[in-house]
Structure 1
């Protein structure tokens, strides 16, 4: 007799996201968190705003599955309404922080082009994942997958900062980061390979990442159309320059 398929327990994801918190601390410790202890945390409002809303979001990703596991559905739904406020704030924080980091006048460097692209790529991944989570909020399997992806989207920004510190070659550090990201997604896809439904979410997100990383690896970001877009974005009156 064939063994029954064991479904992924998405209500355990809150505990796994503690690992994401550790990764974020490793990635951002020298450049952000440690500076509060050394008295050198002279960051702009845009940076603090971005950090605050993401910390709140990661806290929500940890708490919500634990509430479901403990059958606290009413509290889960109540806290879920906060996501309708937090996600727009996350989008705004990413746009403002990205805008504050590029020169509003003058030439753009390759780092400005790639950095701006990575921010917009993260926005697309987050928007897609959150749309799935809300569009299918009455379907637990799809809703859970969408929300989990909003957390997994934090892996690349955190891991690449850690990789740049321990790997001397920036290109190797970048490849290590994206391969690690794909390994996480492929492990999840493999684990859910025999489930009957909702298996399209993680492959869809992987496809978006492959397109985005392909544009970076094949130097498509240095073409005039992207430089023109970033220049247009830089000239918008959104922020003052981050020092």
Structure 2
């Protein structure tokens, strides 16, 4: 493992802490009854927590030269990640249905919500697939795994912005988008400073894959063409 990322497990642990802080008031504090939550919420929370555990454990296994265990957990992710992606999509679907049926959200705002999966499900999936494609190129593999952690951590950031800082949902999403982009820009500059960028542009790819849809989030969801497209998706779902 690269010297600069030798303690990357700590970064993953901090990411997990951010998620826990973000979700404590809105989810964990409801233990043990969890009134208002359904099985999907618990399942989604479980598989996401499992992914954070995988991220933390894997570099530790590498540092301890437990390569066989590292490979076994890596193969386990082939099953875990598709389940994570499906659970994310189902949570979004439920949120959309509730926003329309129960919360009285206006139709335009509801349709704008359908853009949100492009800001996290899509980047997370792309980063994982790239990490697997480059699994034999450790430097690339590690950078794309770090990128998945940034996406997962963003869920905690959004909730911290809303619950702890008092932002509305839209403001929290914008703040989170800017923060994620800044983190990736910082990682690109880190590689540039250490003369790694010429041979490894994984963080540049991650910046584009995550940054573009999150920047478009500030404009596209309320455009006429997106509203028309989203309306077609809703009709197809029904």
TM-score by length of 2: 0.85
Work out the CA distance in 2 between the residues paired with 1:97 and 1:196.
37
1:70 aligns with 2:70: no
Query: 1:149-164 to 2 correspondence within 5 Å?
Result: 149-164=147-162
Structure 1 stretch displaced more, 175-184 or 101-110: 101-110
Matched, 1:99 2:93: yes
Name the structure 2 match of 1:3: none
Higher mean C-alpha deviation, range 185-194 or range 160-169:
160-169
Count of matched residue pairs: 230
Residues 46, 93 of structure 1: 8 Å contact kept: yes
Q: Which structure's relative contact order is higher, taking Cα pairs within 8 Å and 6+ residues apart? A: 1
Q: Any residues of structure 2 matched to 1:175-194 within 5 Å, and which?
A: 175-193=174-192, 194=195
CA contact (8 A) 1:28 1:161 kept: yes
Structure 2 regions of 5+ residues with no counterpart? none
- Greater helix fraction, Structure 1 or Structure 2: 2
Q: Deviations over 1:194-215 (max 9, x none)?
A: 1166531111221233321232
Give SS of 2:130's match.
helix
- Which residue of the partner structure matches residue 125 of structure 1? 123
**In structure 2, do the counterparts of structure 1 residues 223 and 199 end up closer, same or farther at CA, with 3 Å as the change threshold?**
same
Q: Any conservation in 2 of the 1:99–1:233 contact (CA below 8 Å)?
A: no
TM-score by length of 1: 0.83
Alpha-carbon deviation of 1:18? 0.9
2:16 is the alignment partner of 1:17:
no
Q: 1:226 to 1:206 in 2, by over 3 A?
A: same
Unaligned runs of 5+ in 1: 1-6, 239-243
